[in-house]
Amino acid sequence: MAEQEAETSPTRCGYVALVGAPNAGKSTLLNQLVGAKIAIVTPKVQTTRARVTAIAIEGDSQIIFVDTPGIFKPSRRLEKAMVDAAWSGAEDADRIVLIIDAVKGISADVERIIAGLEKNHRRAHVILNKVDIVKRDSLLGLAQALSERGIFDEIYMISALTGDGVNDLREALAKEMPEGPWLYPEDQLALAPMRQLAAEVTREKLFMRLNQELPYSLTVETESWEERKDGSVKIQQVVYVSRANHKPIVLGKGGQTIKKVGELARADLEESLGCRVHLFLFVKVREKWLDDPERYREMGLDFPKDGA
């Protein structure tokens, strides 16, 4: 009798776009899904500015997650670029997942996203996040209201912070990916260059150390990256602020604020890179950076010529 060949499951690979209002927990969820810190996370809204693409392996499936900026009504050029990036990230995805903060429920921003999905005739899954701090009756009522909208296939209840329900979500999404070869090596976790990821780490620390308004008028760029013979890495970054009076705030008294930011960013980078990091931060004033197409390209955004 001829020897039968062992049956093997086909490989699957596809894109999943994570969309939602600002602070819904998309970046926290992305990190949980991938099992590594890829996207920066702060309690402040609009932390994510550009699309962040990360890769997870689940069984025979490679899932390419696209974490998009929060979708809201923009009033400035940078905000419009962020919202455009979010919708662009969802445009060609095999699956769209709408993350909703279960504490806030169906807010005006969520309604805006649902309207956008309806306009583009796109279906989606819904994730109710932060279920660990919401009463069951409220969750069931919210789930029912969303189900009645008619464009959602499945509703998942998770806590991105604790990881509760995330494994089940990843397994379900893996089964929905189209059959096809994997697009990236098994050990690759993100698509962004390390220079850009390193700049995001520093920006996260600045967001956490500075007051509420200032972070949105600054950006961080990795100016140079040198791998040394001893295995360490020398990184030079520039923090651009839009006003001269912002520079001393970023520096802090006696340079203490920027020093602390550097220490925290260096620790994160050393953990991510697995080597010693020499990080040098410089603060420069560039008053028109919010209207500079080059700065947008550095952030991975398209420059909206018509403004907001």
d(CA 141, CA 147): 10
Cβ neighbourhood burial of 29 (10 Å; 0-12, 13-18, 19+)? buried
What is the model's pLDDT at position 63?
97
Distance of CA 195 to the CA centre of its chain: 16
The region, left, alpha or beta by phi > 0 then psi within -120 to 50, assigned to residue 59 is left
| Residues of the chain below pLDDT 70 | 1-7, 40, 42-46, 48-50, 72, 75, 212-213, 215, 305-308
What is the model's pLDDT at position 72?
67
What is the model's pLDDT at position 22?
85
Q: What is the pLDDT of residues 97-129, one digit of tens each?
A: 999 999 999 999 999 999 999 998 999 999 999
What is the model's pLDDT at position 210?
87
CB 85 within 8 A of CB 98: no
Q: What is the dihedral of CA 196, 89, 30, 46, to 10 degrees?
A: 70
